[in-house]
Structure 1
Amino acid sequence: MINQEFLVERDDYANAGRVSSQIKQLLSQIGIPVDILRKVAVACYEAEINMIIHAWGGTITLTLQEDGKLTLVFKDPGPGIPDLEKAMTPGWSTASEKARQLGFGAGMGLFNIKRVSDYFDIQTSPTGTILTIGFEVAS
């Protein structure tokens, strides 16, 4: 079993994608199949970017159980997603002008995460958001 936590800093555009790359490298080293690795990389990157752009930073917890269930939990301390239904709509974004100028904020994040994940759950309030996604690694 693997259980590892990673820190994501608010507004840390210079390191955007760093944690996702670390997770992808770790999973690659232990032999996760490439097709699953690709899905995990997409979902993890999108969620990490959302934490940098929209939240006040947070943590990503990776768990790989012996039965092959891979879970990623993205937890941030706020400010929450005001309209989750809109946030799930492709192309809808509340990204700042700064984020857009840096090439982020296309409004595809949550949509893409849900699309590539085997399991998707999101809980949000003004005190934070917890996104839990899962992947079936073992067949």
Structure 2
Amino acid sequence: MGNISYEFQVEKDDFERAGEASSKIKKILRQLGMDSGIIRRVAIGAYEAEINLVIHSLGGIISFSIEPKSITIIAKDSGPGIENVELAMKEGYSTAPERIREMGFGAGMGLPNMKKCSDSFNIESVVGKGTVITMKMMLKDGD
């Protein structure tokens, strides 16, 4: 299998469509016959990234690629950036406004969950410019 890649546009505050990209990614992996464990990890990472784009960013893109030994998800947005990445990585820390929490989002688990699902996790953020999160999930031999 060669490299396969997809891109999904995610709009700010688009709760109607939130979760669509991660659902499509899950479906693609199922069609490819991927291991259910990897599908679960990728779907959770993609969903958390997607919800974070909807809640916290000015909109962005989730790109997803399957390489022979791994799957990479990149969530890239155009602002506002994360002021304190270390603090943002703490479980339960959230900058989500009350209206978001009332919808059941913004519990402060997005970034920690993304990291837990990834074999490799990187976050780069510049306040006023945006954030790029890269998650890599390694495929087991035989997948």
TM-score above 0.5: yes
Structure 1: gaps of 5 or more residues = none
Shift of 1:87: 0.4
Rounded Cα–Cα distance in structure 2 between residues aligned with 1:84 and 1:43:
17
Shift of 1:55: 0.5
Shift of 1:4: 1.1
Give the number of equivalent residue pairs. Answer: 138
Shift of 1:2: 0.3
Shift of 1:68: 2.3
Alignment of 1:53-92 (within 5 A): 53-65=55-67, 67-92=68-93
What residue identity is the alignment partner of 1:43? G
Rounded Cα–Cα distance in structure 1 between residues aligned with 2:12 and 2:108:
18
Structure 2 partner of 1:95? 96
Q: Percent identity?
A: 46
Structure 2 partner of 1:5? 7
Rounded Cα–Cα distance in structure 2 between residues aligned with 1:15 and 1:25:
16
**Deviation per residue, 1:79-134 (Å, 9 max, x gap):** 00011111000001000122111110000110011011111001000201000000
Does the alignment pair 1:44 with 2:46? yes
Rounded Cα–Cα distance in structure 1 between residues aligned with 2:138 and 2:125:
25
Shift of 1:69: 1.5
Rounded Cα–Cα distance in structure 2 between residues aligned with 1:26 and 1:19:
11
Structure 2 partner of 1:24? 26
Q: What is the Cα-based RMSD across aligned positions, in Å?
A: 0.9
Shift of 1:138: 3.7
Q: Runs of at least 4 residues of structure 1 off by over 4 A?
A: none
Structure 2 partner of 1:122? 123
Rounded Cα–Cα distance in structure 2 between residues aligned with 1:45 and 1:11:
15
Structure 2: gaps of 5 or more residues = none
Rounded Cα–Cα distance in structure 2 between residues aligned with 1:45 and 1:62:
12
**Deviation per residue, 1:33-83 (Å, 9 max, x gap):** 000101111111111100000001100111111x22211110000000011
TM-score, normalised relative to structure 1: 0.96
What residue identity is the alignment partner of 2:84? D
Rounded Cα–Cα distance in structure 2 between residues aligned with 1:138 and 1:35:
10
